Structure 1
Amino acid sequence: MIGRFGRRLGLAIAFTLAFHAGAALAQLTPGEDATATLAHADATKTSDHPAFMDTVARLGRDVPRLTAAQRAHLHYLEAWQVAYAGNYEAAVPLLEAVIGGSSDTTLRFRATATLINILGIGHRYQEAFSRLTELTDSLPEVSDPQARLQGLGEAAQMLTSAGQYDIAAEYAERMIESTPAGDSACKGTFIKLHALYRGKRIEGADPRFTQGIAACEAAGENLIANALRADVAEGTIHAGHAAEAVAMLEKHYPAVVRDQYPSLISQFESLLAEGHWQTGDVDAAEKYAHAAVDSSIAGEYSEPMAVALRTLYLAAKRRGDFRASTDWLERYMQADKGYLDDVTARALAYQVVKQQVTSSRMEADALDRQNQILHLQREVDRRSMETSRLYILLLLTVLAAIGLWLVRTKRSQLRFMRMARRDSLTGICNRQHFVEEATQTLQNVRKNGKPSCLILFDLDHFKLVNDTYGHAEGDWVLLRVVAECRDHILEGDVFGRLGGEEFGILLPNADETAGAKRADMIRTALAAPPAGGPSTAHVTASFGVACTSRHGEQLDRLLAKADEALYRAKAAGRNRVEIALPDEPLSESVSREAMPAASSTWAARH
């Protein structure tokens, strides 16, 4: 087995020559315990990374003198270093060789945890979450405290990437509680604070960040301390204190570069670019933005890359370089879409694997029940009439179990159908579902001979909100808009998000006056300053109203007429309500005299 293991790991040498070739010719010193040396290198691989690389390179030159267990440990550390350097594709087969060839269960567990991390980085999310399920199921059997900490940490980080922030924080808390007495809980603290921060449970100014940074520095874990500082800096920038964030980032940037961890380097450079842009230092912003793009892992779309590309676009636009700004904008939009698609893919992969695990367990339960039935049937045959009632009861149990399984499966299918018909951010109808519901509603109202009104509205200058406050703030604005609208929507109304910041409301059994009045009530509510909550951005909206009494009962025509009215509202100054013009012009468009209800509030401007 050991020979086959060594052959499978032959590929490791090709990817570790870089640090083998640069190391001194020294090998194991007389009396040196290779097991202890490997354990020390393993424990300090992030706190003293240069020394770790020297140790791995030195032991790599003396492989024939190592035992099988020591060689397996060395190969694991070599694979870890390949992944740390960003060569994930090469690290996967190296780790799989350790998992398949080592006889040490603890080492196989650790290699699996590292492999899960790499699969996640490599966008193989479904495979990563499948392996994570197996890893967490085996956690109770893991006795080695460091391996247990690694498994809990990997679970917490993968769940954070899938948007399961509360569950991730629970795993990180278990990691902290499992830290042996006398050891630092730095890594668990970082993972917990990062999950809470990404889930908007805490802000970057939370004092726990300062405590966590101090604890990590005391433990010599400067890499993790700087990862915590990245979250603090991001929160500080978003809070409007960019100069303070820039000072902290520049102070620790050399240490981050020295640790040679590509993703953290790119994150620091992206934050420096954003911070300098907000302080008005365009040259520095461009310098760090270029550096962030260059240090990003090839082929990866990440949030730091998207922020850096947006900074380069804004800088080129300010210089008046139209061609460069267009190129940077195109790359930014591609990176931003790629990053958001990746976030969605992670969340979907988690849900798919969760559903598969649930179904597998239900099937296992069903099979177990069937085995029990077979056993009891033998008892029935032996006892005959005495056990006949029990036999019937067991059959009913089987049917109930199968029925429950079918009901749960059907519920899962219905849930996925609802997800497909709802906007993922706001929970209201998406465009396709809105069209279907509105069409059906118009058909029903037509039978009663009553009019209906269609309201279209679009948020004014919403792109400026995203550019100024960020996409997270933009999402909170959209959620607030939907919440305000719900206060003015009646039972039977159809409400949906038709595009990025465009919404539609169909009011059945409402004439033009009622529709315009309702639109103005919503406009007034949206124009009011935000009353607390996570969103501080102030937005207004422009409205277009079209009624079936003027334009017919075809949804396409109502949408077109309402859209024309909406753009007239935009052209007339925004933050106003416009009524769709009749097909045959009267003396003029619907005037204030002809429509007393269309009061001056409908034409309110900024």
Structure 2
Amino acid sequence: MGTAGRIFRRCRPAIALFALAAHAGTVLAQLAPGEDATATLAWADANKTSDHRDFLETLTRLGNDSGKLTAAQLAHLRYLEAWQVAYAGDYDDAAPLLEAVVGGSPDKVLRFRATATLINILGIAHRYQEAFSRLTELTDMLPGITDPQARLQGLGEAAQMLATAGQYELAADYAERMIQSTPTGDSACKGTFIKLHALYLGKKIDGSDARYTKGIADCEAADENLIANSLRADVAETAIHDRRPHDAIDLLEKRYPAVLRDSYPSLISQVESLLAQAYWDAGNAEAAGKYANAAVKSAPGGDASEPLAAALRTLYLIARERGDFQTAMRWLERYMQADKGYLDDVSARALAYQMVKQQVVSSHMEADALDRQNQILHLQREVDRRAMETSRLYIVLLLTVLATIALWLVRTKRSQLRFMRMARRDSLTGICNRQHFVERAQQALLAAQKAGRPSCLILFDLDHFKLVNDTYGHSEGDWVLLRVVAECRDHLLQEDVFGRLGGEEFAILLPGTDEAKGSERAEAIRGAIAAPPPDGPSSAHVTASFGVACTALHGVELDRLLIVADEALYRAKEAGRDRVVVATSTEPVPAKETPMPVAPSPHLRMARP
């Protein structure tokens, strides 16, 4: 589980620890007379994934005779039992069992291995910050671990955790260390899989790479069929992307019964999802629906994964092709939720990695600062005897400490500024929010005025957007907003300021643009928004109404431009929508008596039809 579990998508258990063992029979319910429990435990440990049914049977026999085991043997058994609980998917139960081994075993190698497995469990449970904190402990312990199998497990877990955080090159480096650390005569199957999959995720290679063929052969020779089938999943996915669905079907169909026998839920869901996509691309909707439904059923309950999202999208496409639009909308809604949940989870992993990395750096710097402070105290005692000689050294060390602390403060401040920048962006579209747009627009207007250049402000509002939300749902509305933003960006220059004022209302400041050019660019954006949407998750068609106000006629004060542009926008709505109206000098504008901070006008807060 530790080697294959991280890069695969996670699943709930398909079977519990001793249910399979009971199914295997009770002929070997206890240790045989004269059987060496230590050797039996070592065999079970080495064959956890390659001979899983015999592994379960061995755990049952050892558990029935646990009273005859030594303390070291019993600790090893408890670790293997915890590993199996995690392998079956009972992560909530597995975590405290592994914690007990980490905190109670006298064997540092076993504690190291339990820590590696615990990292895997924490990652599956989306407790990413805890997982990466444990990973820091694991890598600190690694130099003191000489047991080859334990080192392989630790290196593998580090590689897989780094891959989940998007650190693919670093993950591949750890996997290569794992391959190089494999004892002579042993298979490097697991390390090869982790390295190839990390390079695959990082788009450095694809499934057509010759190393996949060799890796699959090596894993089959080592009886690691589960990992071999995981490599085949990458090969099949590449075939699908290269429009060779029949190759993917031929590869996966013959391996599907073996995948089911291995009882590893995440691989089952992944293979079923890939088969569903391949059959859909091959024009076999019936087979695609069968495997897509199977993938949804085998996917982790309450967990968002890439295979689940792909299966739900396939079901949506099948229902839409059959003309069952009500069912299609239900599948589309589930697909969008799963896809968003998966993307949010990817972001959470990356953020947790960066936060723990920052904490480690800060901790090391604080430790260095404390160490230097202790050195200073020691030197101060020496000053009493060697005032002239040691004073110079004291000053140098003091300056070093101050420089270290200053560097730490600067880095901390930079981190704070980075998070402040994140707060200036609209959470859905990624463009400027209202407050940040106002700040940047005022600066741009002032700069354009000093340079003697005109500017234009564009306000636009999506027509009947509430109807989109009411008809298709808010998830579809979010996709529409994202498409509109993407269309606008295609028509913007680097110096333009683009922001979302709220809801479906947007603003664009065009520095250095006169009235004619501003009207032309607004018309281009209007046409792009009104064009039929491309094939994608959103099928709703919207238009927008535009109001344009330019500094040549209305001055450079942002609040006045907003009011004038909003009046023009309102006239575009009254004139039938889906049009651009440029404010003229004859339009009524409230007189400005005293300079006031820019605030939303009553018109900007009104909900337009």
Q: TM-score range by the shorter chain?
A: 0.7 to 0.9
Q: Which moved more, 1:208-217 or 1:135-144?
A: 208-217
**Deviation at residue 413 of structure 1 after TM alignment:** 1.9
Instruction: Give the aligned partner of residue 166 of structure 1.
Output: 169
Q: 5 Å matches for 1:330-341? A: 330-341=333-344
Structure 1 Cα separation of the partners of residues 215 and 231 of structure 2: 8
Structure 1 Cα separation of the partners of residues 172 and 487 of structure 2: 30
Contact 1:516 1:545 in 2 (8 A): no
Within the candidate set 22, 31, 35, 2:34 is matched to 31
Within the candidate set 214, 223, 226, 1:223 is matched to 226
Question: Does residue 350 in structure 1 map to residue 350 in structure 2?
Answer: no
Unaligned runs of 5+ in 2: 1-14, 462-482, 529-541, 588-609
Instruction: Give the aligned partner of residue 411 of structure 1.
Output: 414
Instruction: Give the aligned partner of residue 384 of structure 1.
Output: 387
Q: 5 Å matches for 1:140-539? A: 140-421=143-424, 429-431=431-433, 435-441=437-443, 443-444=445-446, 451-454=454-457, 488-490=493-495, 493-494=496-497, 506-515=509-518
Structure 2 Cα separation of the partners of residues 189 and 247 of structure 1: 24
**Deviation at residue 580 of structure 1 after TM alignment:** 3.8
TM-score normalised to structure 2 length: 0.77
Instruction: Give the aligned partner of residue 476 of structure 2.
Output: none
Q: Which moved more, 1:145-154 or 1:496-505?
A: 496-505
Structure 2 Cα separation of the partners of residues 517 and 440 of structure 1: 23
Contact 2:459 2:508 in 1 (8 A): yes
Within the candidate set 117, 120, 123, 1:117 is matched to 120
Within the candidate set 74, 78, 83, 1:80 is matched to 83
**Deviation at residue 412 of structure 1 after TM alignment:** 2.2
Residue type of the partner of 1:279?
A
Deviations 1:545-603 (A, max 9, x none): 834257884575688699999999xx99xxxxx754557999xxxxxxxxxxxxxxxxx
**Deviation at residue 484 of structure 1 after TM alignment:** 7.3
User: SS of 2:509's equivalent?
Assistant: strand
Question: Does residue 55 in structure 1 map to residue 61 in structure 2?
Answer: no
Instruction: Give the aligned partner of residue 468 of structure 1.
Output: none
User: SS of 1:546's equivalent?
Assistant: strand
Deviations 1:234-275 (A, max 9, x none): 122122112211221111111111000010101111111111
Structure 2 Cα separation of the partners of residues 151 and 496 of structure 1: 47
**Deviation at residue 312 of structure 1 after TM alignment:** 1.5
Structure 1 Cα separation of the partners of residues 504 and 49 of structure 2: 44
Instruction: Give the aligned partner of residue 5 of structure 1.
Output: none
Contact 1:445 1:451 in 2 (8 A): no
The higher relative CO (CA closer than 8 Å, separation ≥ 6) is in 2
Structure 2 Cα separation of the partners of residues 499 and 226 of structure 1: 49
Aligned CA distance change for structure 1 residues 101 and 316 (closer, same or farther; 3 Å): same
Structure 1 Cα separation of the partners of residues 520 and 330 of structure 2: 45
Aligned CA distance change for structure 1 residues 42 and 503 (closer, same or farther; 3 Å): farther
Equivalent residues, number? 533
Contact 2:372 2:397 in 1 (8 A): no
Q: Which moved more, 1:49-58 or 1:544-553?
A: 544-553
Structure 2 Cα separation of the partners of residues 502 and 200 of structure 1: 38
Aligned CA distance change for structure 1 residues 122 and 505 (closer, same or farther; 3 Å): same
Q: Which moved more, 1:412-421 or 1:502-511?
A: 502-511
**Deviation at residue 279 of structure 1 after TM alignment:** 1.5
**Deviation at residue 482 of structure 1 after TM alignment:** 10
Contact 1:455 1:519 in 2 (8 A): yes
Structure 2 Cα separation of the partners of residues 499 and 175 of structure 1: 52
User: SS of 1:382's equivalent?
Assistant: coil
Structure 1 Cα separation of the partners of residues 309 and 330 of structure 2: 14
Q: Which moved more, 1:138-147 or 1:67-76?
A: 67-76
Aligned CA distance change for structure 1 residues 200 and 515 (closer, same or farther; 3 Å): farther
Structure 2 Cα separation of the partners of residues 208 and 455 of structure 1: 55
Question: Does residue 128 in structure 1 map to residue 158 in structure 2?
Answer: no
Residue type of the partner of 1:18?
A
**Deviation at residue 63 of structure 1 after TM alignment:** 1.1
User: SS of 1:163's equivalent?
Assistant: coil
Aligned CA distance change for structure 1 residues 442 and 303 (closer, same or farther; 3 Å): same
Contact 1:515 1:545 in 2 (8 A): no
Deviations 1:154-206 (A, max 9, x none): 11111111111111111111111111111111111111111111111222222
Structure 2 Cα separation of the partners of residues 98 and 251 of structure 1: 40
Structure 1 Cα separation of the partners of residues 426 and 291 of structure 2: 36
Structure 2 Cα separation of the partners of residues 344 and 565 of structure 1: 43
Aligned CA distance change for structure 1 residues 246 and 33 (closer, same or farther; 3 Å): same
Structure 1 Cα separation of the partners of residues 428 and 168 of structure 2: 17
**Deviation at residue 417 of structure 1 after TM alignment:** 2.8
Structure 2 Cα separation of the partners of residues 565 and 273 of structure 1: 51
Structure 2 Cα separation of the partners of residues 43 and 396 of structure 1: 55
Structure 2 Cα separation of the partners of residues 269 and 15 of structure 1: 22
Residue type of the partner of 1:143?
T
**Deviation at residue 224 of structure 1 after TM alignment:** 0.5
**Deviation at residue 394 of structure 1 after TM alignment:** 2.9
User: SS of 1:32's equivalent?
Assistant: coil
Residue type of the partner of 2:442?
Q
Structure 2 Cα separation of the partners of residues 499 and 248 of structure 1: 50
Deviations 1:423-476 (A, max 9, x none): 8999x8544576244432365268668542356999xxxxxxxxxxxxxxxxxx
